[in-house]
Structure 1
């Protein structure tokens, strides 16, 4: 008879253990859900500035203007700038791109184009002024 009571006691103890385990697992699960809710923000609650930081815009090489300058290919994504560059002569465009994009000094540009350094300087200044005027006219 003692064994029967002992067996029943074991069952009740195991039953209590299982219920307690489930109870604390539920507590842990609810605590984890609450913790995540405090950390996570719904997209609908984000400001537009924050949403823009999360956005990714694809850019493809075919969408930008490409200019071959020496061994380099320079890609310009701004359409207005590309149109303005296209109105310049090829030599002036190359001088500007070498100077601003490839960061070459006038001396290196002169050696590359086989012209004098002073000519490069003059062409660069005039081309820059012309480009600036074209961009200002385009924005009005």
Structure 2
């Protein structure tokens, strides 16, 4: 098997042809896949009301206003309204520290950086808030 000796130019041309064919085939595959996907797509305006209702759910956990929003701890009934009142009774800087730490998952260092105060101050505000919340809830919680 005598193969003809190929020049550098011929090898480059053969490789370029191979690359162009590969790119052309990939473009055809992408175009075909896009067309196939477009045939299955439906716009929101074309959906029936039943199909629209399948796209979302409503959380009805707290649907019964006061009944499900309360819980008992150590023989005391605490409602969401009472807890909100307790949080509102805190001074603003302490309330912010508690809310950012527990509801926004921020660390003491992140909160300190946000308010440009020492980290230990944030920790003090947060921990001292618990004592205030405890007293407020003990005084007002239903037995």
- TM-score range normalised by the length of the shorter chain: 0.3 to 0.5
Query: Which one has a larger percent helix, Structure 1 or Structure 2?
Result: 1
The TM-score, its normalising length taken from structure 1, stands at 0.45
Q: Which has the higher contact order (CA 8 A, sep 6+)?
A: 2
